[in-house]
Amino acid sequence: MRLYILIISLVIFLSGCQSYIAYQIAKPPQKVLPKEFESSIALSGVQTHYCSSEVDCLDFRFISPKDIESYLLDGNTLSLSLIVEGSTEDEVFEYQLTSDNLPNNHNSGLLIIFPGYGVDSLIYTMQARWLSHVTGKNVIVMPASNQYEKFRFGLNSLDVLVNYVNKENYTDISLISYSMGAIAGVELASKLNISKHILYAPMINFEAALNTIANLSHPIYSKLLGDDYLSEVAAKIIEKSEVPLTKLDILNNLNKTPHARQTYIFSSNTDKVSPYNRLLTLNNSKVSMYEVKDLNHIEMVSLISTQQRNVLLCLLDG
């Protein structure tokens, strides 16, 4: 009898645990950067609140070369540094912004960054500052998918973004999408005339990605719960998001047109979250695939590789 009660209690607990895990996955990330960083326009750009109507609004970060031009011309410098913990040694990205490497002229183009899941998008403003300085473009850093009031895989306010871009009369628009950010990036490309869409380690299947991340980060609990259980959690998250499954089908949507005039996908042979071989079924002449060697998912989405950064600049310049 006691064993029977224990089994019932465990089933009830696990049923409630599914909702708890789903909530934990979809809740906003904790802030990891100091307030000084968030309030510094030089480091994190301008916090922008834009509304296309009384009820439809969007908060994003706007980074422009003009933000720091006078500061640099006065003889000051701005140093950027990012450290990513590697399996054997730390990877470091460092860049110093000076008046000597200011862009020759301000580009009229716009670059929009869609961060991956589970991060504070402020982290990507440093990358945005570097891109803005090197290319001369204005850069928008969108919220991560779990930074909205409701978790909808980053699709929450794309119509507001479209309204803003059209109002500002941008014509040369490029996108950079990381991991889960690819869902919003691909959707936006169907709404605007996008020149280039560059995807790093795009999330191909949410259920598979969730299982992989759980197995990598919490192997004991994942084994205890099982893949079927985590698949039910993924289904619960999708159901609560009210996002149609067709919007999450990245491979099918990338095979469709219209999309960007040119799309580039970077995927690593050792990235278990976004496996390279899953992307080989793509069949679209406007989509180019690049295999990156020996980088895990975090290394892919942090753009820590010098080679990746150089190729990205060549694509944006070409």
Mark out the alpha helices in 190-276 (DSSP H runs). 206-217, 219-225, 227-241, 245-248, 250-255
Q: What is the DSSP letter of 173?
A: E
What is the side-by-side order of every strand in the sheet holding 138-141?
A: 46-51, 57-63, 138-141, 110-114, 173-178, 196-200, 262-268, 287-292
In this predicted structure, what is the pLDDT of residue 259?
73
pLDDT of 18 above 60: no
pLDDT of 5 above 50: no
Residues 29-58 pLDDT 10s: 555 566 666 667 888 899 999 999 999 999
pTM equals 0.88
Residues 22-36 pLDDT 10s: 545 555 555 556 666
Q: How far apart are CA 10 and CA 44, in angstroms?
A: 46
Q: How far apart are CA 185 and CA 170, in angstroms?
A: 17
Residues 112-135 pLDDT 10s: 999 998 788 988 999 999 999 999
Residues 6+ apart with CB under 8 A from 219: none
pLDDT interval class at 196 (50, 70, 90): very high
Q: What is the DSSP letter of 108?
A: -
Q: How far apart are CA 133 and CA 138, in angstroms?
A: 9
CATH class for the domain made up of 31-206+244-317: alpha beta
pLDDT interval class at 138 (50, 70, 90): very high
CA within 13 Å, CB half, 135: 27
In this predicted structure, what is the pLDDT of residue 62?
97
The residues spanned by each domain of the chain are: 31-206+244-317
In this predicted structure, what is the pLDDT of residue 43?
80
Q: How far apart are CA 250 and CA 214, in angstroms?
A: 21
